Amino acid sequence: MDTPTNDAETRQERFERGLDMLTRISGEGGQRVVDALADVSPELAHQIIAWGFGEIYRRPGLAPRDRQLVTLGMLTALGGCEPQLDVHVNAALNVGLTAEEIVEALLHAAGYCGFPKALNATFVAKKVFGERGLLPVTTD
């Protein structure tokens, strides 16, 4: 885990530290989002990396695995964020959550967000698991 961000850093240094964090957590999925922004909103890409990953994600107060649990909950609840769920189901697997735990978290979500949003999120997880050879998932 990195040290917190209370030092003097240039905009470029914040970006580089964020990019390092993004690559460790989200792998290619995160990079693809950033690339797709290059010709329309490079500043949005910069801020997702430099601020989202370079300032927030690298803070030591919450483990990467825990951050993904919170994130899966938020993206499921927001709805309409299937592309971001794809990135973050991958990220969740990358930082140590198992497919079984992810499936259980999305079942848990049904009671708070209702079945439709839990279903939408679960089908994104199924797609990611399929791409990573993790199907079938066995719970209980």
DSSP code at position 116 = H
- Give the nearest distance from C-beta 37 to a second copy in angstroms: 7
Q: Report yes or no: 106 and 98 within 8 Å, Cβ to Cβ.
A: no
- Give the nearest distance from C-beta 57 to a second copy in angstroms: 8
Amino acid at 96: G
Smaller CB separation from a second copy, 23 or 140: 140
Distance of CA 109 to the CA centre of its chain: 17
**SS3 of residue 80 by DSSP:** coil
- Give the nearest distance from C-beta 10 to a second copy in angstroms: 4
Q: What is the largest CA-CA distance in the chain?
A: 49
